Amino acid sequence: MAGPAVTYRNPLAEAADLDGWTAEGPAGTAHADGGLVLSSTADEAALAAAGRGDHAHFTLWCPEVFPADIAIEWDFRPLAGEGLAMLFFAAAGTGGRDLFDPALAPRTGYYPQYHSGDVSALHVSYLRRKWPAERRFRTCNLRKSPGFRLVAQGADPLPGPEDADGHYRVRVAKRGPEVTFAIDGLTLFTFRDPEPLGAGRIGFRQMAPLVSHYRDLEVTAL
């Protein structure tokens, strides 16, 4: 018996594949090797010297609104730099509003605008290498917003750019109250949400100075 049909497929291989996508913050996009290279265009050192280092990071939103029960998969490879990669999913404005409702506060890539503002979402962070504590003990974290609540955690098996061997298939599945996160078929955590989120958008987020390669994004309704 055939499995669920893919409802959205994007190779992320050329500029036209990002038509309709929305960048918040200094998102640098390029295309190489059949996929998308994401990096920050900000001068992180200058921002840090001005006390605004957290403004060097960005979020890139897919234009589609997906149903509540979905599986999201993509190929990921870190290319250079220490930083952090994240996926937002089931993202919407608080109070049942669309994520891009003009009544919501403006967003510029600054993380508190997403975790403690008027955005309702789940967000899983992986390849967490930005700070020394993250490099010492490597985990993947699932948080729920608004409120910056850490709701699940698992070990991070990803190597850094110097040891990455090709791409790694990342998968987030959300069905009813259950959320699972896996890399290359290895389940890293499962979370049962007492108040499941509904339909929403997905978005990639990176913290500078990480440079990463993404390709073959697929979303399947479950």
Residue among 160, 138, 167 nearest 81 (CA)? 160
2: pLDDT confidence band, cut at 50, 70 and 90? low
Number of domains in the chain: 1
49: pLDDT confidence band, cut at 50, 70 and 90? confident
Assigned domain for 105 exists: yes
Q: What is the pLDDT of residues 30-43, one digit of tens each?
A: 999 999 999 999 98
Q: Flag whether pLDDT at 5 surpasses 90.
A: no
Assigned domain for 136 exists: yes
47: pLDDT confidence band, cut at 50, 70 and 90? confident
Assigned domain for 205 exists: yes
Looking only at the bridges linking them, the beta strands covering 22-24 and 35-40 are unpaired
Assigned domain for 140 exists: yes
Assigned domain for 58 exists: yes
The share of the chain scoring above pLDDT 90, in percent, equals: 90
CATH number of the domain that 176 lies in? 2.60.120.200
Distance between CA atoms of residues 132 and 112, nearest Å: 21
Q: What is the pLDDT of residues 123-169, one digit of tens each?
A: 999 999 998 999 999 999 999 999 999 999 999 999 999 999 999 99
Q: What is the pLDDT of residue 60?
A: 98
100: pLDDT confidence band, cut at 50, 70 and 90? very high
Q: Flag whether pLDDT at 3 surpasses 70.
A: no
> Are 76 and 170 in contact, with CB atoms under 8 Å apart?
yes
Assigned domain for 175 exists: yes
What is the mean pLDDT of the segment spanning 60-79? 98
Assigned domain for 189 exists: yes
Write down the residue that tokens 């070990």 correspond to.
155
Assigned domain for 1 exists: no
The share of the chain scoring above pLDDT 70, in percent, equals: 99
Q: Flag whether pLDDT at 1 surpasses 60.
A: no
Q: What is the pLDDT of residue 187?
A: 98
State the residue range of the domain holding 103. Answer: 6-221
- In order, the DSSP letters of the chain are ---PPEEEEE---SGGGGTT-EEESSEEEEEETTEEEEEE-S-HHHHHHTT-GGGG-EEEE-SPPBPSSEEEEEEEEEEESS-EEEEEEEEEEGGG--TT-TTSPP--S-THHHHSSSEEEEEEEES--SSHHHHHS-EEEEEEETTTEEEEEEE-----TTT--S-EEEEEEEETTEEEEEETTEEEEEEE-SS---SBEEEEEEETT-EEEEEEEEEEE-
